[in-house]
Amino acid sequence: MLPYKSVPAAEAVLGRALTAGETIWLNYSADKSDYFLYCHTTVFLFLTFSISPFFYILFEQFQTYKIQPKVKKLSISDSLRCYLNVMPMFILVVGSLQLISYPAIQMIGIRTKLPLPSIGEVVGQLVVYFAIEDYTSYWVHRFLHCNKWVYEKIHRIHHEYNAPFVFVALYAHWAEILILGFPSLLGPAIAPGHIITFWLWIALRQLEAIETHSGYEFPWSPAKYIPFYGGAEHHDYHHYVGGESYSNFSSVFTYCDYIYGTDKGYRYHKKIRKQR
Ligand SMILES: [Zn+2]
Ligand SMILES: [Zn+2]
């Protein structure tokens, strides 16, 4: 439970007036348990995966900026069917992981009380989380391809689609959702922050997964503005090559693929496409 139950009590402890954001947070969280606040993560995941894909579903009806333009258009009813197929499993697996990982979250010291983190602290921690997740999931993803048994039994499901679309981000074996969930928790374990930063991290990581599986490379895609950011085109190639793929394992950035030489096929493919 939070140690401060009222604004005057919190101001007395902090020795200063609360900001508007801190007052809102205190009023919302003062009578809620840390466990209840942590459970919000599953709700944010559900909202992120329920709201953001609809932008791509609408765009699918126009087919502009599609990375693989010859792939069959997905109707709105097909998209809804996909959503209803993948969502229950995803929420079941991720929701369970969220609920049982609470003791670990307590142990690593993710805080819920005031003061709220500064913008600098939030941005710094998010950068660290992205870097750790990217590096770790590169090797986990590479292992999912290198080990034949693991690929056949687990990762093959995610590769059923050679041309990804938003819901492929969720379309995976339950074991893969769990295995790739750990790199996402490693950053907060190493550099724990406020629960609001944790929620933001989980939401941004899922938005990134949706974007990279969208099958669209828009002029405003982050890959055009953030150095070494992989984006949809980078991961689309990984799916395009299919199960035998030994290219583009990174989840967020491209530097691991470059350093370890697992983007040679992709770079050659891009060069050929440019020449056409
Ligand atoms: Zn793969
Ligand atoms: Zn994928």
What is the token pair recorded at 68? 């693989």
Tell me the whole-structure pTM to 2 decimals. 0.91
Does pLDDT of 2 surpass 50?
A: no
Residue 5: pLDDT above 80? no
List the domain boundaries for the chain.
1-32, 37-110+118-275
Per the DSSP assignment, residues forming a β-bridge with 66 are 216
Phi, psi of 66 (to 5 degrees): -75, 135
DSSP 249: -
At 182 the pLDDT is 87
What spacing in Å lies between the alpha carbon of 96 and ligand 2's midpoint? 22
pLDDT digits 0-9 by tens, 122-165: 999 999 999 999 999 999 999 999 999 999 999 999 999 899 99
Angle, vertex CA 106, rays to CA 115 and CA 14, nearest 5: 15
d(Cα 211, Cα 226) in Å, to the nearest integer?
14
What is the pLDDT averaged over residues 243-264?
91
Assign 1 a pLDDT band (cuts: 50, 70, 90): very low
Predicted confidence at residue 3, as pLDDT, reads 60
pLDDT value, residue 218? 92
Average of per-residue pLDDT across 260-276 = 88
Give the distance (Å) from ligand 2 centre to CA of residue 252.
11
Give yes or no for a contact between 249 and 257, defined as CB atoms under 8 angstroms apart: yes
What's the gap in Å between 249 CA and the centre of ligand 2?
A: 9
Ligand lying closest to the C-alpha of residue 138: 1
158 C-alpha to center of ligand 2: Å? 6
Cα(269) to ligand 2 centroid in Å equals 18
Query: How many angstroms does the Cα of residue 175 sit away from the middle of ligand 2?
Result: 15
- pLDDT per position as a tens digit, 75-133: 888 888 888 988 888 888 888 887 788 888 889 899 999 999 999 999 999 999 999 99
| Rounded mean pLDDT, 256-266 | 94
Is pLDDT of 13 > 50? yes
Q: pLDDT by residue (tens digit) across 175-229?
A: 999 899 889 999 999 999 999 999 999 999 999 999 999 999 999 999 999 999 9
**What ligand has the least distance to the C-alpha of 215?**
2
- List alpha helices for 191-244, DSSP H: 195-212, 231-241
Predicted local confidence at residue 101, as pLDDT: 84
258 has a pLDDT exceeding 90: yes
Which ligand ends up closest to the CA of 242? 1
144 C-alpha vs ligand 1 centroid, how far in Å? 7
Q: What is the mean pLDDT of the chain?
A: 90
Q: What is the CA(15)–ligand 2 centre distance, in A? A: 49
* Rounded to 5°, angle at Cα 207 from 216 and 251: 75
ω into residue 69 within 30 of 0, thus cis? no
